[in-house]
Amino acid sequence: MNALIFAAGKGERMRPLTERTPKALLEVRGKPLIEYHIAALKRAGILRIVINTGWLGEQLPQRLGTGERFGVDIRYSHEGPEPLETGGGMRRALALLGADPFIATNADIYTDFDYARLSVPVGLAHLVLIDNPPHHPRGDFAFDGERVHVCGSRRLTFAGIGVYRPELISHFPDGRYPLAPILKEAMDFGIVTGEHFCGAWTDVGTPERLAGLNANV
């Protein structure tokens, strides 16, 4: 499989840190967040990585290059200063990802998740869910066996990691839109599966969380 790393967001909650630096290049212990994902994907045998770029996006290829020093092949899906959100960003990147299922992950998370655990989904998508963090106590989705649904007795939080078939989004037009409503519609048809991950995971969404991560990692 190939992989997509979402790195186009403006990082508005991270300001002032993201006024001059894209969120994906903010550092944890001297290393940009996105480089942890690149290394983890490489360990899992993923050698083609597509990174979507938006806000201050020119800094990503300047820092990461073609991926040669990481032992991977990095391609860039450029969106311009106004990011296309997760749905539009994924749709734009399909031309670089190819026709097979692919992994997608958010650049702004810090985790020890092993991407080698992921395989081709039975349906159109397979999502990784985690226990609800303090800043998101209501969760996002619930399990019904292996299937993921919007409603349920125990809702968990989407980790920002998943495997997707291109057919999930290939029929949508190029444009700006979120991925969540598309996933929810697929859930209504019972074609989204998931797994519960209990390892280390942090949504590095604010300067306080970044500082806390740097203090404790």
pLDDT above 90 (res 210): no
Q: What is the CATH number of the domain that holds 145?
A: 3.90.550.10
Confidence of residue 70 (pLDDT cuts 50, 70, 90): very high
Confidence of residue 77 (pLDDT cuts 50, 70, 90): very high
Gyration radius (Cα) of the chain, Å: 16
The stretch 38-52 carries a mean pLDDT of: 97
| pTM metric for this prediction | 0.95
Contacts of 166 (CB under 8 A, 6+ apart): 94, 97, 98, 99, 100, 101, 102
Positive or negative torsion for Cα 172, 86, 119, 198: negative
Is the bond preceding residue 16 a cis peptide, omega within 30 degrees? Answer: yes
Please give the Cα distance from 34 to 63 (Å, whole number): 11
Taking alpha carbons only, the member of 139, 184, 161 closest to residue 36 is 161
The stretch 110-134 carries a mean pLDDT of: 95
User: Is the Cβ–Cβ distance between 123 and 186 less than 8 Å?
Assistant: yes
Which pLDDT tens digit goes with each residue over 137-166?
Answer: 999 999 988 899 998 888 999 999 999 999
Residue 99's pLDDT is: 94
Q: Which two tokens stand for residue 202?
A: 């942090």
**Mean predicted lDDT score pLDDT of the chain:** 93
- The distance in angstroms from the start CA to the end CA of the chain is 30
User: Is the Cβ–Cβ distance between 138 and 47 less than 8 Å?
Assistant: no
The stretch 133-139 carries a mean pLDDT of: 90
Confidence of residue 212 (pLDDT cuts 50, 70, 90): confident
Residue 193's pLDDT is: 97
Least confident of 54-63, 64-73, 98-107: 54-63
| Count of domains observed in the chain | 1
pLDDT above 90 (res 88): yes
Q: For the stretch 31-43, what's the b/e string if a residue is b when 16 or more beta carbons lie within 10 angstroms of its beta carbon? A: ebbbbbbbebbbe
Query: What proportion of the chain, given as a percentage, has pLDDT over 90?
Result: 77
- Domain of residue 103, residue span: 2-216
Query: What proportion of the chain, given as a percentage, has pLDDT over 70?
Result: 100
User: Is the Cβ–Cβ distance between 37 and 46 less than 8 Å?
Assistant: no
